[in-house]
Each structure stands twice: as C-alpha cells, then as structure tokens.
Amino acid sequence: MLERKMGRLNYRTSVVMFGAAKLGSVSQEEADASIRFALDNGVHHFDTAASYGDAEVRMGPWMPKVRDGIFLATKTGERTKEKAKAEIRRSLERLQVDSLDLIQLHAVGDIENLDLCMKKGGALEALIDAKDEGIVKAIGITGHGHGAPATHLEALRRYPFDTVLLPLNYFLYSIPQYKEDFDKLTEEAGKQNAAVRVIKAIAKGPWSEGQRRNYSTWYEPFHQQDIIDACVHFALSFPGVAALASAGDIQLFPKIVDAANRFGSMKDEDAHRILRRISGYASPFAASTP
C-alpha cells in the first residue's frame, strides 16, 4: 500500500484510511473480516467516530492487539467541553485503549458549528485538555457539505489543527466555488503543514426516491471497479491529500484498496474521461450547505 507523509505529524499513512463508519451496523464477525482484510493489505490508518453506531465497539477487541502498529483516530460530535470530554472517555473505553493518535471535532461544516466548538467552554477546550493530558497526540477537524472547505480554512486561521477531513471528488471539484475554496484550504494547510484527508471520493450522489439501496452508505456510491479506479486516482492525484477514507460499506472496501494499490497505472486524462461521462453524477449534498 502506498504511503504518504501526514503533515507535521511524525507518521506515514497508508493512502487508504479504514473508514469505520462501515462497521456501525454489522456483526462482530463481519467487522473482524473487514479489519483483518485492512491489516493484511497494508491499511494501518483507522478512522472512526463516537457517532458511528457500534463501530468503536466492533473495533475494540482488535485495538489492544494492533495498537502499536496503527494510527488510531476518532471524533466527537459534541459542542461543549464537558460533553466532549465525556464522549472522548467513552470512546477510549469502547476502543479498549488508553490513548488516541488523533481526536477530531466532528461534522464542522459551517461557521455556526465552528463558533460553537471554539467558544469559551466549547468542545475544542476538551480536545486541548486531552492532548495536554497525553490522552491524544493530535487534534483535527472534520466537515461535510459544500461549506466544509471554507469553514476549515477559517478553522486553520483560528487554531493550528493538525488535520482536516472533508469531501473531495470529481463532481464536487467541478463546482467553481468548491474548487476555489478547496484550493485555498490546501494552500493554507500546506503552509501550516497540516494533513488533508478526504471523504466521499466514490460518492455518485443522493439516493433517488424509492431507489433500492444495495449499500449501507447514506449516499449512492459507485460500485463499478473502473469508476472506483478513476475516483481514487482523482483524489490521490492531489499531492496535498495525505489519504482518502474508504466508503461506509464493507462490500466496497476491497474495491477501494484494489484501486489504491494500482494508483499510478491510470493516466489523468483517462480518469477524467471516465468521470465526466457519467450520467447522474451529482453532489451527495444539498445545493446549499447542510
């Protein structure tokens, strides 16, 4: 598995992150098989969240055994210091570990939520305390929606986050404002040596009304290998992107790993040709920021 430097953190990450949202509603046996597949294929960056159903619980039996060989990240969606502090403790218990490599403010995709996290008594204070206590090594921020790049740019201006995690795919980057905001964010992240990690790389768009949902993702994902290859190539073609998170469905994970393992075998123009011809390709988000 290809690896890239993770900003100013002393870590080289696999370019595919194990997006643990896929474990939120599966059995322990299914989770075990997916985690084993990740480890066997060189995926050593695990990213979960307190809000991903039973994901942390499913990861728990594995973490004490593999902790020294992986990068472990989770997230808190709480907005106050006290609630975030309690959620971080709960995550440590569920994951069966004493510390995390990265804790992230979760789903901060607009200035309103950023202000809530960063005000006096806000969640950021809990993350800073956790770092001071040695419970976590680094602090990051994540966001969904069209406003995430601009929001994270403002976040980096207010606080030196070690990582940002936000959507990137061919369609989103074709939106002029999103492209402009994403480019400004990656420029600032480069100046600060903050790691940029991305999500929604293989998102096709929202599920249609009444459409049969064959995958557990909240958006309709691409499932054809050639399109996934093009999506992964597009996301990893950004030199400022450290890694992309796998989609929230265990069936899609091997296809994403396969695509990443062959990164470099596809030309940029071929990836663009495949992606620009897709019918029904759209943003997974509403036209305005959620």
pLDDT at 289 over 80: no
Q: d(Cα 195, Cα 102) in Å, to the nearest integer? A: 12
pTM confidence score: 0.96
DSSP 268: H
**What pLDDT score does 290 carry?**
32
> Could you tell me if 152 and 143 are in contact, meaning their C-beta atoms sit under 8 angstroms apart?
yes
CATH number of the domain encompassing residue 30: 3.20.20.100
Average pLDDT, the chain: 96
pLDDT at 194 over 80: yes
Q: Is 96 part of any domain?
A: yes
Q: Is 265 part of any domain?
A: yes
Tens digits of residue pLDDT in 228-266 = 999 999 999 999 999 999 999 999 999 999 999 999 999
pLDDT at 18 over 60: yes
Tens digits of residue pLDDT in 172-192 = 999 999 999 999 999 999 999
> Could you tell me if 160 and 131 are in contact, meaning their C-beta atoms sit under 8 angstroms apart?
no
| Domain carrying residue 53 | 3-276
Query: What region does 40 belong to: left with phi over 0, alpha with psi -120 to 50, or beta?
Result: alpha
Sign of CA dihedral 159, 51, 209, 18: positive
Q: Is 241 part of any domain?
A: yes
Tens digits of residue pLDDT in 28-54 = 999 999 999 999 999 999 999 999 999
Q: Is 79 part of any domain?
A: yes
Q: Is 89 part of any domain?
A: yes
Q: Is 282 part of any domain?
A: no
Quote the distance between the C-alpha of residue 197 and its chain's center. Answer: 6
Quote the distance between the C-alpha of residue 162 and its chain's center. Answer: 14
Tens digits of residue pLDDT in 114-160 = 999 999 999 999 999 999 999 999 999 999 999 999 999 999 999 99
64: pLDDT confidence band, cut at 50, 70 and 90?
A: very high
Residue of 267, 202, 261 whose CA lies nearest to 235? 202
Q: Is 290 part of any domain?
A: no
**What pLDDT score does 224 carry?**
98
Q: What residues does 19 pair with on adjacent strands?
A: 47
Q: Is 285 part of any domain?
A: no
**What pLDDT score does 287 carry?**
52
288: pLDDT confidence band, cut at 50, 70 and 90?
A: very low
Q: What's the number of domains the chain is made of?
A: 1
